[in-house]
Amino acid sequence: MDGPDSGPPAALLPEVPQRASLPQQNQGRNANLGSNAMDQTRDQILDRSLDRSPASAPLRALADAFHAMIARSRAEPAADLAERLDRLARLRAVVADNEERFRQAISADFGHRSAVETTIAETMMVYSEIRHATKHLKSWMAPQRIATALQFLPARNRLIPQPLGVVGIIAPWNYPLQLTLAPAIGAIAAGNLVMIKPSELVPHFAGLLKETVAARFDATELLVTGVEDEIAKAFASLPFDHLVFTGSTRVGRLVAEAAGRNLTPVTLELGGKSPAIIDASADLDEAAERIAYGKLLNAGQTCIAPDYVLVPERSLQAFAEKLRAQMRRMFGTDPANKDYTSVISDRHYARLEGLVADAVERGAKILQPARADDPNWKAHRKFPPTLILGATEDMAVMQEEIFGPVLPVLGYREPADAIAFVNRRDRPLALYWFGKDRDARDAVLSRTVSGGVTVNDCLFHFAQVNQPMGGVGASGTGAYHGEWGFRTFSKLKPVFYRSKFNRLADLYPPYGGKIARLEKMMRFMS
């Protein structure tokens, strides 16, 4: 989700050393936990394979902080409604009181990030998530009535949400504020303690988040770690009660492997090649405008950005020209345009250049709304919007997630061909369909599997706080947003309340003639 091969390197799995004591700043708060409970917690962590070998100061600090958080989660009662609402309010204040500082920090990390894009795609999304959770949290926390089987009446069943304990979040760089705090909001609403590891590619943002969170939260409530390489390698090996990773599929597999050693459940928000399908019934001008926006927001560095477009062959050239015109209308031809965001790093810029060069070498045609030979593009680390026509399956641009402002446009003959093309690939994080033909739309919806779909636009299914956001297959597992996040980060505990007035004692030995009566009762109820 944060781009091909981004995130911690392959050597992800070194273990974190066991520490003998809690950090000094947390001793007072945790003094009431009792030494026996503390020692037992440490022993449990040791049993889950944390290493005792010497380590650097950052790793020792990570181990200390983790052990303190685990100890608190095991010893204190679950946070009540008032405490959870207070934590959500404090998290909102972290953003609201430092909004401009976050905009500037993110822009510094990117080289340039459109201030408007940071506002609409990051801060507004965070506010929306917190507002929604605050409004509905009381009802989410309430025990749910579950029907009781006839033979057990008048007993009662309830489903009681309970915090998991300590949730770890490995955050991406592409939308560092929103994709860091959205899962944290769900975890906090569910009553958990949370530890966040920001991306090393956004050090200005990471430092600011660490500072502002520490000013409003105790280190055993919500903690932001450093971005040192050794922290990145060790974080996924900690025995969290739940671990969230947002990033590339390659690194996601490594995170899942590391978490699996502790039997830690994971939510993986990954990526892939998300298609946009243009039906013959579509308004090409409308589709071109909306795909141009969906692709070029954040310079294409969006996990759910359309990664290729399928359009009827007879409309291919016309649509490509309309798409190029819309890109030019939105972002012009000047690399210094403040509305257009830079590519995150020189390495990612070179990777995009390589994808385009490979396509050209293999015979593809390139369409661009601006002169790509202008040296100011590279000087600003902004990649010129690029359409690729005639892309084939052997080209690198069709084999990996692009994660940038490069978009292959391919033709298809029949709607079934477009569906088959999508289904030959890994299941994508998102799919977009444009058109007016309801039967054609429903055929695509029923015959393809993806993390989510927006019809006649791009991206906006992600912004729905009432809908789950998550991948499927290679694009991820698990989901969050709104109540879905609350449930992901809760143990939904089934509880059976036996009534004084029932016949359950008939199940106890000695059985004697009870079997015949039980069989008769079961036949009656079946």
Q: In this predicted model, what pLDDT tens digit does every residue of 266-318 receive, in sequence order?
A: 999 999 999 999 999 999 999 999 999 999 999 999 999 999 999 999 999 99
pLDDT band (50, 70, 90) for residue 52: very low
pLDDT band (50, 70, 90) for residue 4: low
pLDDT band (50, 70, 90) for residue 19: very low
Average pLDDT, the chain: 91
What pTM value is reported for the model?
0.90
Specify the CATH number for 275-470; select among 3.40.309.10, 3.40.50.1000, 3.40.1190.20, 3.20.20.80.
3.40.309.10
- Is residue 44 pLDDT above 80, yes or no? no
Could you tell me the CA-to-CA distances from 268 to 140, 400, 474 in Å, in that order? 23, 18, 10
* 448-458: b (≥16 Cβ within 10 Å) or e: bebbbbbebbb
The encoded tokens of residue 82 equal: 């008032």
The reported pLDDT for the residue numbered 24 is 36
- Region of poorest pLDDT, from 46-55, 337-346, 385-394: 46-55
Q: Which residue has the higher pLDDT, 502 or 509?
A: 509
pLDDT band (50, 70, 90) for residue 49: very low
Contact 65/225 with Cβ under 8 angstroms?
A: yes
Q: Omega of the bond prior to 198 within 30 degrees of 0, cis? A: no
Radius of gyration of the chain (CA): 26
DSSP-assigned letters across all residues of 9-59: -S---PPPBP-SS--HHHHHHHGGG-HHHHHHHHHHHHHTT-B-S---HHH
Task: Work out the average pLDDT over 331-345.
Answer: 97
The reported pLDDT for the residue numbered 15 is 44
Task: Work out the average pLDDT over 434-449.
Answer: 99
- Is residue 357 pLDDT above 60, yes or no? yes
Catalytic residue among 117, 269, 289, 483: 269
Q: In this predicted model, what pLDDT tens digit does every residue of 370-383 receive, in sequence order?
A: 998 999 999 999 99
In the block, residue with structure tokens 């791009």: 458
Round to whole Å and give the CA distance between 78 and 84.
10
Task: Work out the average pLDDT over 68-93.
Answer: 98
The encoded tokens of residue 482 equal: 């709104």
Name the CATH topology of 24-135+162-267.
Answer: Aldehyde Dehydrogenase; Chain A, domain 1 (3.40.605)
The reported pLDDT for the residue numbered 99 is 98
- Region of poorest pLDDT, from 93-107, 138-152, 212-226, 448-462: 138-152
- Is residue 173 pLDDT above 70, yes or no? yes
The reported pLDDT for the residue numbered 11 is 43
pLDDT band (50, 70, 90) for residue 2: low
Task: Work out the average pLDDT over 170-189.
Answer: 99
- Is residue 485 pLDDT above 60, yes or no? yes
Task: Work out the average pLDDT over 434-452.
Answer: 99
The reported pLDDT for the residue numbered 298 is 99
pLDDT band (50, 70, 90) for residue 152: confident
- Is residue 26 pLDDT above 90, yes or no? no
- Share of residues in the chain with pLDDT > 70 (%): 89
pLDDT band (50, 70, 90) for residue 1: low
Q: In this predicted model, what pLDDT tens digit does every residue of 54-64 receive, in sequence order?
A: 468 899 999 99
State yes or no: is 269 an active-site residue. yes
In the block, residue with structure tokens 């990777």: 351
Task: Work out the average pLDDT over 249-273.
Answer: 97
Helix axes 99-110, 203-216, angle to 10 degrees: 160
The reported pLDDT for the residue numbered 422 is 99
Q: Which residue has the higher pLDDT, 132 or 32?
A: 132
| Distance spanning both ends of the chain, measured CA to CA | 49
Q: Could you state, in order of their start, the residue ranges of all structural domains in the chain?
A: 24-135+162-267, 275-470
Task: Work out the average pLDDT over 313-332.
Answer: 98
- Is residue 361 pLDDT above 70, yes or no? yes
Round to whole Å and give the CA distance between 126 and 103.
14
The reported pLDDT for the residue numbered 102 is 99
Q: CA 275, 330, 389, 472: dihedral to nearest 10 degrees?
A: -10
- Using H for helix, E for strand and C for coil, what is the string for 261-326? CCCCCEEEECCCCCEEEECCCCCHHHHHHHHHHHHHHHHHCCCCCCCEEEEEHHHHHHHHHHHHHH
User: Phi and psi (nearest 5°) for 522?
Assistant: -65, -40
Catalytic residue among 117, 289, 303, 458: 303
Asked if 24-135+162-267 and 275-470 have one fold, the answer is: no
The reported pLDDT for the residue numbered 513 is 76
pLDDT band (50, 70, 90) for residue 475: very high
Task: Work out the average pLDDT over 443-464.
Answer: 98
- Is residue 21 pLDDT above 70, yes or no? no
- Is residue 501 pLDDT above 70, yes or no? yes
Q: Phi/psi zone of residue 300: left (φ > 0), alpha (ψ -120 to 50 degrees), beta?
A: left
The reported pLDDT for the residue numbered 271 is 92
The reported pLDDT for the residue numbered 56 is 85
